[in-house]
Structure 1
Amino acid sequence: MISFPALLDYSKEKTRVLIYTSNPSIAKLVVEVLNFSCKEFDFFLEDGLTKNDDNDFVIFETSDIEKASQFKPTIFFISKEINSENIDPALRNITPGGILIYPSELETIVEECPHYFRKLPFQSSVFQKNTDQFVLSTEMGPIPVISRDEHLIKNLEGIKLLCQQFGVMEEEFYEPMMSFE
């Protein structure tokens, strides 16, 4: 895997997308949706999965606040399970005019940040848990989901917002998400 300093250097002239999460399924779903929608991007995930084709967008996944603070993202996604302590340095390093997608529970901390960036809060996804699957309640109607990862399901509204920054429409998002394990 590419070293962190080399990753910072590689990505400095690109649109940097940071997925700050301790749940690897979140970044993998983003990659799955973007691939399904034929979007061009590079990625570097914590589990060692990478794609480096010198695209304009580069996605970086981390659960390390030190790395998150140094990455200077253009688009910054924070998942619901992340502890709100110590995220201020990462918020201060969002590129001016960038985008922050965050759980609405972090509203107070986000609003205290004096830097200019677009703020897109999200709520937990509305779903029901049956014995064998989750069923999302959406504007398009109920959508069954194969994944049994409740933390992933709770973050789907935020993940959808993140994918929309790449031009993925709602219907394009749900199709690969329904079969994602």
Structure 2
Amino acid sequence: MNIHFISIGGSAMHNLALALQAKGDTITGSDDAIFEPSKSRLATKGLLPESMGWFPEKIHSGLNAIILGMHAKADNPELIKAQELGLTIYSYPEFLYEHAKNKTRVVIGGSHGKTTITSMILHVLKYHNVEVDFMVGAQLDGFDRMVHLTEENEVIVLEGDEYLSSPIDLRPKFHLYKANIALLSGIAWDHINVFPTFENYVDQFSIFVDTMVKGGMMVYFEEDEVVKKVVEETSNQIKKYPYKTPEYTIEDGATILDTIEGEIPLEIFGKHNLQNLEGARSICFHLGIGEEAFYEAIADFKGASKRLEKIAENDQTVVYKDFAHSPSKVGATTKAVREQYPNRKLLACLELHTYSSLNEDFLKEYEGTLEGADEAVVFYSPHAVKIKRLKEVTEEQIANAFKRDDLIIYTEPKAFKKYLFEQNLKDTALLLMSSGNYGGLDFEELKSLL
């Protein structure tokens, strides 16, 4: 097929472009800005646009399909040209469904943990040489791309994002996949710019359950009361398989999983990650991987990129970075590091970077999320607030939201970096949580602190 990507530079979009090229399709694309690592990865395969911008002349009747990214706008000149020509236009999830409509579709959903759970499943399947198609939201060790598509594989594993599909398709992505097998890890309000109330947000997960194929299998975290209610009250005729937090202990900084196969030391840690592991185990069981085989494979799983990723360590200090940005993720990650290193000072730094986290009405959801830290810092950029066209957020509002009298707040990248690099990190666990980079912080440079 001849396929053109409008907004080819996004993390998900460029991975799909690379996957389709590897499958044998002819790919072109456009974007108005492309950053690393997308830029280099596209250039290596000859897919980097010669010039940045939108070029309607790239759109012609010889194209079999257009794939439209969320970064583009509804008035994009290439999109308008494609509509005028009557070309087939897919959103990212629409295209994945079209590719996978005759496969067994395994969809991992939830406000948190879905990238990690999907990564765990793929790690175990790869360990046992089980070939599947997949799409996951992070780069994984041992995998070339975040997307892999074939004609022959019978199963596809999809991370099910609840965010919108495209500028002209405002349905959440995971509504389009029509799962045969699904998982819900938890529901905690996010994306306030799209789902203005908690009830509206929860409705999206109810719709997701209702879109499942009749007779399908739903694995769900029963300790989350909202998830439990959503799944157990559906009228869809599906099989339901609850899971809960497994038994574990922590010995000398290592997490030990208590299983029917005996005690298994893990590379990952944190109660939330043990819950993720249990969900992944259940999904793998439905894909034919028994418990013994699962535990053998999961023992050396080190985590998905940017998910509680250890970036530096010596005898006295350990530094983690984590993608956590929503309140539930921030709270879970902070508690995990606190539990793993009870005898060390925990310095937790959070960047408020997303639309939701910079919304004055949403800020109160962060109350108590950093209480496990001995010292807590919040960084946010007033410039980012302006770019997102949000109402100004003040330091006082942030301090009131977190309900922590000793909260340290920075709004300038240089000042935050100066603070960080002046810290004595002896006997310290440093945790950096953000979906951004603190205004340009070089994480590699942090290693010089040790």
Instruction: Please give the alpha-carbon distance, in whole angstroms, between the structure 2 residues aligned to 1:174 and 1:60.
Output: 22
Instruction: Please give the alpha-carbon distance, in whole angstroms, between the structure 2 residues aligned to 1:153 and 1:8.
Output: 30
The residue number in structure 2 matching 1:15 is 104
Q: Secondary structure at 1:137's aligned position in 2?
A: strand
The residue number in structure 2 matching 1:117 is 238
Q: 1:72 aligns with which of 139, 159, 178?
A: 178
1:124-135 map, 5 Å: 124-135=245-256
Please tell me whether the aligned partners of residues 39 and 166 of structure 1 are also in contact (alpha carbons under 8 angstroms).
Answer: no
Which moves more between the two structures, 144-153 or 37-46? 144-153
Instruction: Please give the alpha-carbon distance, in whole angstroms, between the structure 1 residues aligned to 2:278 and 2:122.
Output: 16
Which moves more between the two structures, 104-113 or 51-60? 104-113
| Structure 2, gaps ≥5 residues long | 1-14, 17-91, 139-144, 164-171, 189-200, 303-450
Q: Does 1:50 align with 2:147?
A: yes
Q: Rate the CA distance shift 1:147–1:31 in 2: closer, same or farther, 3 A.
A: same
The residue number in structure 2 matching 1:96 is 214
Q: Does 1:59 align with 2:59?
A: no
Q: Does 1:35 align with 2:132?
A: no
Q: Does 1:175 align with 2:273?
A: no
Q: Deviations over 1:41-67 (max 9, x none)?
A: 100112360111221101110332511
Q: Secondary structure at 2:263's aligned position in 1?
A: strand
Q: Deviations over 1:118-176 (max 9, x none)?
A: 10000112111234211111122211111135422122222111001110011110012
Q: Deviations over 1:62-111 (max 9, x none)?
A: 3325111221100001124x338231000100100100000113333212
State the structure with more CA Rg.
2
- Report the TM-score when normalising by structure 2: 0.38
Instruction: Please give the alpha-carbon distance, in whole angstroms, between the structure 2 residues aligned to 1:79 and 1:131.
Output: 29
Q: Which amino acid aligns with 1:44?
A: M
The residue number in structure 1 matching 2:276 is 155
Q: Secondary structure at 1:25's aligned position in 2?
A: helix
Per the TM alignment, residue 25 of structure 1 is displaced from its structure 2 partner at its CA by: 2.1
Q: Rate the CA distance shift 1:6–1:63 in 2: closer, same or farther, 3 A.
A: closer
Which moves more between the two structures, 139-148 or 21-30? 21-30
Q: Which amino acid aligns with 2:210?
A: R
Instruction: Please give the alpha-carbon distance, in whole angstroms, between the structure 2 residues aligned to 1:61 and 1:75.
Output: 12
Between the two proteins, what is the percent identity of the paired residues?
Answer: 26
- Report the TM-score when normalising by structure 1: 0.91
Paired residues, number: 180
Please tell me whether the aligned partners of residues 125 and 155 of structure 1 are also in contact (alpha carbons under 8 angstroms).
Answer: no
Q: 2:202 aligns with which of 78, 85, 107?
A: 85
Per the TM alignment, residue 40 of structure 1 is displaced from its structure 2 partner at its CA by: 1.9
